[in-house]
Each structure stands twice: as structure tokens, then as C-alpha cells.
Amino acid sequence: MNAPHSFRHWRHVRTTSLLMPLLVFLVLATLTWFGYRWQARVQSEAVEYADVQASAAITAEIRERLQLHSQFLRSLQAFAATHSWLDLAPWQRFAREIDIGMALPGLFSFAYAPAIRSTDRPGAIGTLRRQAGLREFRIFPETSAELTTPVIFAAPESAELQRSIGFDLSSEALRREAIDAAIVQRDVALSAPIVLHIDRTQPRPGFLMLLPLFHPDRPLADVAARRAAFAGIVLTAYRTDEFLSRLKQAAKNRLAFRIMDESLAASRAPDDAAKQIFSFGSVPESSDTPPDFHHEIDFGGRNWLLYFYREAPSAASESLDAANLILYGGLTLSALLAFLIFQLSTHRDRAERHARRATRELREHRDHLNELVAERTARLESALVSARAASQAKSEFLANMSHELRTPMHAILSFAELGANRGEAVGIAKLRQYFQRIEQSAHRLLGLINELLDIAKLEAGRADMHLASADLAALIQDARTQLESLLLAKKLTIELEVTAASSLALCDSERIRQVIQNLLGNAIRFSPEGGTIRIEIAASTLSSGRRAEDSVQVAAIAIRVVDQGIGIPEAELEHIFEKFVQSSATRTGAGGTGLGLAISRAIVMQHRGTIVATNNAGGGACFTVTLPADSRTRDNGAQ
């Protein structure tokens, strides 16, 4: 074959070999893109619906809290109606009997202020000064007004609240307007945003909830009659941030919001515009920014405007959502499959070119020395052995990878295609079923990735450990429950024996549960059908330091998982804890990635514990995990 013809043949083979992988990649990438777009739309609609529900739940919680506090205010009104208006002893007994902090979250104080006319003021002041605790009672600020409403009782009876005794609520415009609104409405009224009297030195936003008291047996038919019959006020006082920062629904959701207050009165002043009284989360600095959701609470003559904003999702949550997983995973698998097809299609051509080159070299040297012929022949045989070994390795790689990659990939692509083609033709339940199947296949790949991430984080020392007292017996029972289906499938029995005085250890319960599940899962996998797995919890000790020569021992608890399987070769008892290593006795037919024991050892070492593997005299393997005991529990028991 001459050189030009050989070059044209090579170029033709090269073009043909590139065309098929490129076509496969483009088809798979297109399907991946459609799947990504569909899933992104589904996620966006789900987030929109969830945020609407969350904003409604927050609004409902605030409204219910206001209603709850108004009910308490009505009980104060009923209590005041049954007692003399200047007798404080019943109020003091009433305050000692209730715990407003537990029953009414966010309530700062409640108080009672009678309406005292100017003609009755000297006698009322004298009566109040004769009672315990009010020897120096006075009404402030001083006023010559016809009507005053001084605070004569405030609870809880703290020193700072006692400084507000005698404060005339009618002396301040916003409080006076709220009192008048309560009289006019003959119902609960909210005040505009104010600063509580005790916070005047260090102002904090607050508000009042008020309910009027009227003289009995007087007509209340119209506003003038109600003002004439006005006998006083009961009120509850709040610091706005304390009242609104304890919302349970706000803590559960990712919504930021601001609350604006405005009056509902038709005759409100032009400068009485809506004012911000509270914000939660990262709200925009400018109040002119349009909200994503808007709710209103009309209560007590005031209108609270709730403006909700979606907080920007974190980069981690965006990178790990289902849509991006489909996109990145699909493109990666598409590229990998295209590369494998390219390697397969060009392998024969490379082998043929190598053989032709070797043959040409042999022909050139055939007439030379016999030693040179023997050397070239040996080199050719070595090349052929390497080629066969490479071919065999390639075949094994393709066989393994086709099972692990092709099956979940086919599921993702098939159901993504069905979801895209039938998205508008079937109901939402059908789409959910398609996606659940996609999710099942994706979880299989995600499990492998999670194990790699776990071992990387543990070895780098970046895994968070939350140490607390944990009952190892309870963790074993939890792991047993999780693996119940595997136990039933092989008819296995678990015997739990606790010989330690206490099974409490100081550990991260989630991580140790993961270790127990790994060990118990291995025991189930390698135990014969109908066998018994024995788990022992016994007292033990650990070295207090990391060096072998450290002789100080500390109390510990040992967990032993003993199975009746085929055991582990003695030479491999330490190597099985390395990454991607499996015992030669269990390597075939057992499954697994070779990461479970490596992860378990990393977790145990983070707890300053140990994990070792041994063989039982009667057959089977035994894994022993030793963890530090909970010294706090031991010390309490000793006392």
C-alpha cells in the first residue's frame, strides 16, 4: 500500500470513528437539556407554591397571636369590672397566679389605668397612697386636663415597670388617640408605633393593645354616651421585636419580610403614612422595592402590611438541586459514553496499524542476523501480549461500567423523554411517577458520590461532629430496624448482649449509627441464610493520648459485631479498612464499593476511638468498635 492511499484510508477511518461518538453525544446532550428545562420549570412552580403557603402561614400566625392576646385583654376587662377600681390587692393576686411569659409569648407587660376626672383627682390620689407600695404616688406629667388615665398597676411587678406607675396615658398624643379609638369602637384597639415609657432612655419600637372600661348601668348607645361612661383602660404593652421575632413559621421558611403599620381611620393625617415596625431576614434596604407577596392584617383600628421577599438561595443549594443534577450528570455521562464508543471504534485500527508497523520492521530486518530476527519476534510477541491484556482490561472496564452507568442512564433518559413528550398530555400524578423513577436511578449514582464525599471530608478533618450523650443500644436497635427487610430476606437472627453497666457514649449519634449500619450490613451480606449475628456491648478502655506509649487509660464502651460468614484472610485484616479494598474471600458476588469500612474507620478515629477486625475461632468475622464512654453520666452515677 503506497503512502497516499494509506493516508486517505487513515483519514477515512478517523472521520468515521469521530462521527458516531459525536452523534451519540449530541443526541444524549439534547435529551439531557430537555430534561433539565422540564425539571427546572417543575421546581420553580413548586417553590412558588411553597412560598405562597409559607407567607400565608406567617400572616395567619401573627393574626392568631393578636387574637390570643386580645382574648387575654378581654379577661382583664372582665376582672376589672368585678373589683373596685382603686383596690389594687386583687390585681396583685391575679398577677402572681399567671405566667404571662409561657401563656402569652411576646407579651412584655399588662396594666390597668382608671379614668380620673379633675374633681375626683385629690381623693383618688389619697386613696392610692394609702395602699402598700404607692406611698408616694403621683400623676405625671403634671396636667390641668379634665380627664387623666394614670397607670396604677403594671405586671410583672419589676422595678423598671414600677417607674411607670402614675404615668398619664392621655398626656401623649399617640396613646390618647389609641384610647379614644378603643372608646369609639367599644372594642380592642391597637396603638400606632410608640416607645414604651421604660424604654425612653434607649428607644425601642413598641405598641399597645387597649380595651376600655365603662361605668355600669350607664348607656353606651353612641360615641358621646360611651365617652361620658368611660371609667378606665386595661392594656397590654409590647416591644415589637420581641413580639414578632418568636414566630415559629418564620423560622421554618426562607422568606424575608417587613411589616408596615398604617391607620385605618378615614380621617388620618397626611403625614400618617405607613411606617416600618419590623423586618425579618435580608429585606431590601429600600421600602419601595416591590414585594414578591403581600398580605394585610386588619386589627384594632390599625392595618399591618406584610411585604414578603424571597431570599436568594445559597450557591450550595443551587448546585445540588435536581435540575442541575440532571444537566451536569447527563452531560458528564454523555461525554463518557461518547468517549468509550470512540475508544472502541478506533481500537481495531490502532491494533492493525501497530501490526503493520511491526511486520514492516520484520521484513526490513529479515535478511539480517538471526539474533535480530529473534529479538524482533520476541518484541512482537510482547506487543501482542500487551495488546491482548489491554483489550481484556478494556473489556472488563466496559462490562463493569456498562452495568453501573448504562442502567441508571437509560432510566434517566427514557423517563425524561416520556416526561417531555407527555408533559402536556397527562396529569400531574403521572409526571410524578416518571420523575420518581428517574430519582430512584439518580439516587443510586448519588449514593456512590456521597460515599466518596464522606471519606474525603472525614480524611480532611472537615466533617462536623456534634458530640452528645447517646445510647449505643438504642442506636443498634435503630440500625436493626433500618435493615429489617434484609434480615427477613435471609432469615437471620440478631442477639444483642449488654454487659456494660451503661451503654451511654459521648459521640455523634448520626455518624456512629452510620458505622453500626455499615458493620451490620456487612454481617448480613456475608452470613449464611438462617444464621445468627451476635452484637455485644461491653465495658472497655482507651488510651488517653494518640501515642502508643501513652499509658493512661480512660473508660470506654466496645461494640462487637460477630457473624458466621466465611471470615477474612489473616493477611488482609488491616488492609480491608483502606479505600476501594475488599477481601479476596468476599470480593466476588458481595457488591459494595470498598468504601464502607474506610468511612467507618475515619468516623471512629474522629471520635478518638478504634476499630479492628478479627476472625472467630469457629468461623466468621468479628468487628470491634471502641468509643469513649460518657464521663458525665459515669460521674453522676458515682455520686
Fold of 468-638: Heat Shock Protein 90 (3.30.565)
Contact (CB, 8 A) for 100 and 142: no
The grid cell for 93 is 393576686
Q: What pLDDT, in 10s, does the model give residues 606-617?
A: 889 999 999 988
Angle between helix 596-606 and 509-526 (nearest 10): 150
User: How much is the mean pLDDT over the chain?
Assistant: 82
For 195-202, the CB contacts below 8 A with 24+ separation are: 196/108, 196/237, 196/239, 197/163, 197/164, 197/167, 198/160, 198/161, 198/163, 198/164, 199/239
Sorted by where each begins, the domain ranges of the chain are: 73-252, 468-638
- Does 73-252 carry CATH code 3.90.78.10? no
Q: What pLDDT, in 10s, does the model give residues 189-211?
A: 999 999 998 898 899 999 999 99
Please compute the mean of the pLDDT values over residues 95-124 and round it to a whole number. 86
Q: What pLDDT, in 10s, does the model give residues 435-479?
A: 656 655 655 565 566 666 666 666 666 677 888 999 999 999 999
Q: What pLDDT, in 10s, does the model give residues 527-544?
A: 999 999 999 999 999 987
310: helix, strand or coil = strand
* Omega prior to 141 cis, within 30 of 0: yes
588 has pLDDT over 60: no
Higher pLDDT, 114 or 576: 114
Compute the distance between CA of residue 496 and CA of residue 613 in angstroms, rounded to an integer.
Answer: 19
Contact (CB, 8 A) for 561 and 532: no
Q: What pLDDT, in 10s, does the model give residues 264-276?
A: 876 565 556 789 9
Total residue length of the chain: 639
Strand 532-543 versus strand 493-498 pairing type: parallel
The grid cell for 524 is 448480613
- Residue 611: DSSP 8-state: E
Higher pLDDT, 317 or 186: 186
Of 617, 613, 565, 616, whose CA–CA distance to 590 is shortest?
565
Torsion angle, CA of 368/372/378/381, rounded to 10 degrees? -30
**Full DSSP string of 150-183:** B--EEES--HHHHTTTTBBGGGSHHHHHHHHHHH
Contacts of 69 (CB under 8 A, 6+ apart): 104, 106, 107, 209, 236
Contacts of 159 (CB under 8 A, 6+ apart): none
636 has pLDDT over 60: no
Percent of the chain surpassing pLDDT 70: 77
